[in-house]
Amino acid sequence: MKTIKLKAEFDYNFHLLGIITKAKEYTLSWAINNSIGIELQKQEDLLIDLKNAKHLSISNYSYKNETCAFFLIKNKLEEEIEGEQVIFAPSLRTFDYILKIESDNADPSINDIYNSIRSVSQVQSILKLDVNKIKEKEYFLL
């Protein structure tokens, strides 16, 4: 029997910022809104079904306009599986939240966004992430 292989190539035309904070998600989204002038709003949780019949619920906030979109995704989930905290993107376990930035422009002034969020008092640390080096980059194709 002949095997057919499907090769899919995805466009990873977005930026990711990893955020470390002790702040609650609503406090962080409010602070980000004030620092970069957007209006992140709470969305329905993303639901993921796992092989072992478990379900994950991932909290997220988003903002979209005609030229760009922002998604604040909780990386460290409240749920536990077999006594261990569940991480949305395990290779990024250091970060509490991931901010995904999509833009029609070649560069949505990512450095300005980074610097503005870095100055927020609730943010302990922020790092620009190279999407191509992230093992779970497909997870961010929301």
Q: Are 23 and 122 in contact (CB under 8 A)?
A: yes
Long-range CB pairs of 82-91, under 8 A, 24+ apart, other chains included: 86/56, 88/56, 88/58, 88/139, 89/134, 89/135, 89/136, 89/139, 89/140, 90/135, 90/136, 91/134, 91/135, 91/136
Average pLDDT over residues 90-114: 85
Say how many C-beta atoms besides its own lie within 10 A of residue 25's C-beta: 18
Indicate the pLDDT class of residue 29, thresholds 50, 70 and 90. very high
In the chain, DSSP assigns E strands to 14-21, 41-42, 46-49, 55-58, 60-64, 68-74, 76-81, 84-87, 97-103, 123-129
pLDDT bracket for residue 142 (50, 70, 90):
low
> Looking at residue 94, what is its pLDDT?
93
Most confident of 11-20, 44-53, 72-81: 11-20
Domains of the chain: 14-137 (3.30.310)
Could you tell me the pLDDT band of residue 133, with boundaries at 50, 70 and 90? confident
Q: What is the pTM of this model?
A: 0.84
Digit-coded pLDDT (tens) for 109-131: 888 999 999 999 999 999 999 88
